[in-house]
Amino acid sequence: VYCRKHFFKRLGAYNTDFNAHFNLDMKRVIPANEDDIFRKSQLHGYVHDPIAALMGGVSGNAGLFSTAEDLAKIMSVYLNRGTYGGERLIDSTTIDLFTKTQLPLDQNRRGLGFDKPETLPNKSGPTCKEAPCSSYGHTGFTGAIAWNDPDNQLIYIFLSNRIYPNEFNDKLIKDNIRTKIQKVIYKAILK
């Protein structure tokens, strides 16, 4: 309720919420998967992540249902250091904390709120090698990515459902689709 009232609605992100089965038009929500292990039903409007499900469907790492348009609005708040439409929604020091790597790079590449590009050679990460170290974002187990690049003022949103009908569908990851699309974008803008 807090996010909906104080954040999503202020952005005009009306197709974004947790627990979609309660709060969103279900005709616009695709089923996550056929859960034969944990909940023994089709997950339609319910978070896929079992830990987030045990937390009531609201978690920092999973459970947000949205559209590309709404996610672009949300990510632009972070890209614009906490402002949207001239209104401050998040303090810029919080943005810095969320988007800065918190440990030495050889120990962990993550910020408090977002993932960061891999900087160690011969290790794969969530982005293509062209993504600058200043970039940050979230990659979801279900196949989504929302990624900001402050250096190039770029927001990259890719929504998919790689786990339908079940989570053994690994084509998106095996073929590295998200990273390949991101690489094409960088090739186009960095000419």
Domain count, the chain: 1
Question: Is 107 inside any structural domain?
Answer: yes
Q: Which of 60, 73, 153, 66 is nearest to 113 (CA)?
A: 60
Question: Is 184 inside any structural domain?
Answer: yes
Q: Band the pLDDT of 178: cuts 50, 70, 90.
A: very high
Question: Is 78 inside any structural domain?
Answer: yes
pLDDT of 105 strictly over 80: no
Question: Is 61 inside any structural domain?
Answer: no
- For residue 35, the model assigns a pLDDT of 87
Q: Please state the φ and ψ torsions of residue 179, each to the nearest 5 degrees.
A: -70, -40
**pLDDT > 90 fraction of the chain, expressed in percent and rounded:** 70
Cα separation values, 33 from 14, 77, 151, 163, Å: 24, 31, 36, 6
Q: What CATH number is given to the structural domain containing 151?
A: 3.40.710.10
| Three-state DSSP state, 42 | strand
Question: Is 98 inside any structural domain?
Answer: yes
| More confident call, 146 vs 104 | 146
| pLDDT tens per residue across span 134-171 | 999 999 888 999 999 999 999 999 999 999 888 888 88
Question: Is 58 inside any structural domain?
Answer: no
Domain hosting residue 88, numbered range: 2-16+66-189
Provide the mean pLDDT of the chain.
93
Q: Cβ–Cβ contacts within 10 Å for residue 60, how many? A: 11
180: exposed, middle or buried (Cβ count in 10 Å: 0-12, 13-18, 19+): exposed
| pLDDT tens per residue across span 76-102 | 999 999 999 999 999 999 999 999 998
Question: Is 111 inside any structural domain?
Answer: yes
pLDDT of 106 strictly over 80: no
Question: Is 44 inside any structural domain?
Answer: no
Report the predicted TM-score, pTM, of the whole model to 2 decimal places.
Answer: 0.92
Q: How far apart are CA 153 and CA 116, in angstroms?
A: 16
